[in-house]
Amino acid sequence: MSEKKAAPAPGDRVVIGLTFGNSNSSIAHTVDDKAEVIANEDGDRQIPTILSYVEGEEYYGQQAKNFLVRNPQNTVAYFRDFLGKDFKSIDPTHNHASAHPQEASGTVSFTIKDKEGEEADPSTLPVSEISARYLRRLVGSASDYLGKKVTSAVITIPTNFAEKQKAALVAAAGEADLEVLQLISEPVAAVLAYDARPEGEISDKIVVVADLGGTRSDVSVVASRGGMYTILATAHDYEFAGFALDKILMDHFAKEFLKKHGGKDPRDNARSLAKLKQESEATKKALSLGNNASFSVESLSEGVDFASTINRLRYETIARTVFEGFNRLVESVVKKAGLDVLDVDEVILSGGTSHTPRIAANLGYIFPKTTTILAPSTTPTAINPSELQTRGAALQASLIQEYEADDIDQSTHAAVTTVPHVNNAIGVVSLSESGEEVFIPIVQPETAVPARRTVHVAAPKDGGDVLVKIVEGNTHIKVTKPEPKANGDSKAAKVEDAADSDEDSDFSDDEEEEEEEKREKVWKIGSTLAEAAIRGVKKGGKVEVTINVNADLTVVVTTREIGAKGGVRGTISA
């Protein structure tokens, strides 16, 4: 155990944002309040979370990843999720082609040769030590880049990280001489990265963050209300993630190899399998950018070289079931949050797999046109999905670096985790042009409290008394079925109207059959919370309604005529 060093004084800190994933890690810092991702000495911004030892020499990142082919037994990969976990509860699926996890001294450990010399005994290292060594490399590379020793970091973690996992991560960072300023949840970090852009709006919105990684996909629904983030629902999936796409391509090329050359299946030999995996992943990434990608491996099996190509359409066909899985996952979380796709303002695609154009396009089909899909292939201004979390973490780090460690916990934990919030919307009833009562939301559902919102309600055209009714509101989804197919005379009339050639009219008929029902979000007026009458509002005047929801969920409503003195104020208890 190394000596516990005192945390640096706030003024002496050098801070970074850090993402420590099972597949990749990345580091960022801020320059003039803007986040910048740091490349390590290999020039990588996505740094594989892998350590490898050759002749006592330690390699990390891409160099270590390359050793998965030639030195798998001394290479440790996919270990982040094992931190702070019991051996019995871990899933070692992804470690079959590198050092295997085992139970030693009550924790998950790896036995590797990390010392020089043929006779040197292998070491059995707990996952905490592996993590500390890896984090030390990241800190080293960030320090080299910045030209000063990095002392502290905000680190992103999945939303389902248990207290024990968090504690283990903080301890591992401590071993690497890195103060953890704060652990923030990965989806909130992604939202922060977008909200911090100059054009980013801190408006009230519902955001779905689809974090599609290598070994897991984590989807969250986040309510962003006046800069406060509340996580409404989450789901974690270990089946639909990047490795499943690698697997599709590995099988594809292995079969093609067998068809062409016969001989032994490259999937039956560890080294061939590692090569197949590495090249399949590269081909997969190339298919995110181009319509064609090549695949080429020297001595894939029994000394036979293999080269091939694949186009995007073919890839999308063979990977269809995996792609569909991503859609189902996202849909399920929206439902879990008690929301409808129509409630979602933005979908942020985060994580390496989010570069895949087909995934972004497919998500576009389940959300209405009004929902923004933030992915490189759908929105030119989208931020690189692989960098979102680390950017968010860096921004948060620069924001809180001046605080004493004790104050950080108190002042910011609530803001990025679940905080008390109103369940229903609060708003006013207004009359529509056709004289119907309609609900105008002022405080959106899931708004974190305390909150304060103001709206202006127009007085009747000629002025006069304005009755302001404050009510709760709920949304429901109104489904309008397409017009039943017209028959008889009216059909004939329609066809005539619609088209001037027979061909076209056939077409429009088909289209009609396929027309989908129309779904829209409508507000339902709930229970009345308060009523206030403002008398004698002048012609063209407006009434200002302010709603304050206190931390204890009591509501204070203030109404006044704009430009006039006085007003009505009342408190409603929760």
Binding interface with ligand ATP (CB under 6 A): 21-24, 46, 213-216, 241-243, 281, 284-285, 288, 351-353, 355-356, 386
Nearer to ligand ATP, 91 or 265 (CB): 91
Task: Candidates 206-214, 331-339, 509-517, 532-540: pick the segment binding Mg ion (CB under 5 A).
Answer: 206-214
Minimum Å distance from CB 469 to ligand ATP? 49
Distance CA 187, CA 234 (A): 10
φ, ψ of residue 543 in degrees (nearest 5): -110, 135
Query: What is the C-alpha to C-alpha distance for residues 26 and 38, in angstroms, rounded to an integer?
Result: 8
Scan residues 15-34 and list those touching Mg ion (CB under 5 A).
21
- Which helix (H) or strand (E) segment is 194 a member of? helix 186-195
Task: Using the minimum distance from each CB to ligand ATP, give the nearer residue, 160 or 423.
Answer: 160
Which of residues 21 and 61 has its CB atom nearest to ligand ATP in the complex?
21
Question: Measured from the CB atom, is 393 or 534 closer to ligand ATP?
Answer: 393
213 touches Mg ion (CB under 5 A): yes
Listed ranges 113-121, 145-153, 346-354, 398-406: which one lies at the site for Mg ion (CB under 5 A): 346-354
When the beta carbons of 22 and 98 are compared against ligand ATP, the nearer one is: 22
Distance CA 390, CA 155 (A): 8
Query: Residue 78, SS3?
Result: coil
- In Å, what is the CA distance from 562 to each residue of 65, 455, 456, 555? 65, 11, 8, 21
Which amino acid, 40? Answer: N
Could you tell me the smallest distance in angstroms from the CB atom of residue 429 to ligand ATP?
A: 46
Distances (CA, A) of 219 to 247, 346, 414, 460: 22, 13, 20, 46
Pick 236 or 521: Cβ nearer ligand ATP = 236
Question: In the beta sheet, which residues pair with residue 448?
Answer: 421
Q: Cα(33)–Cα(39) distance, rounded to whole angstroms?
A: 19
Restricted to residues 246-275, the positions that interact with Mg ion (CB under 5 A) are none
CA 18 to chain centre: 15
Min dist. Cβ of residue 386 to ligand ATP (A): 5
Shortest distance, CB of residue 219 to ligand ATP, whole angstroms? 12
CB of 82 to ligand ATP, least distance (A): 12
Residue number with CB closer to ligand ATP (230 or 283) = 283
Q: Kindly give the pairing relationship between strand 205-212 and strand 346-350.
A: parallel
Contact between 187 and Mg ion by CB under 5 A: the answer reads no
**At its nearest, how many Å lie between ligand ATP and the CB of residue 141?**
17
C-alpha 446/C-alpha 163 separation (Å) is 25
Measured distance CA(275)–CA(305) in Å, rounded: 11
List the single partner that 285 binds among ligand ATP, Mg ion, none, CB under 5 to 8 Å by kind.
Answer: ligand ATP
* Least distance in angstroms from the C-beta of 327 to ligand ATP: 17
Q: Are 48 and 61 in contact (CB under 8 A)?
A: yes
Residue nearest to Mg ion (CB): 213
Measured CA to CA, the distance from residue 232 to residue 219 in angstroms comes to: 11
Residue 427 binds which entry of Mg ion, ligand ATP, none, with Cβ cut-offs from 5 to 8 Å by kind? none
Q: Structure tokens of 137? A: 């490399």
Q: Which is nearer to ligand ATP, 22 or 107 (CB)?
A: 22
Binding positions for Mg ion, rule: CB under 5 A: 21, 213, 351
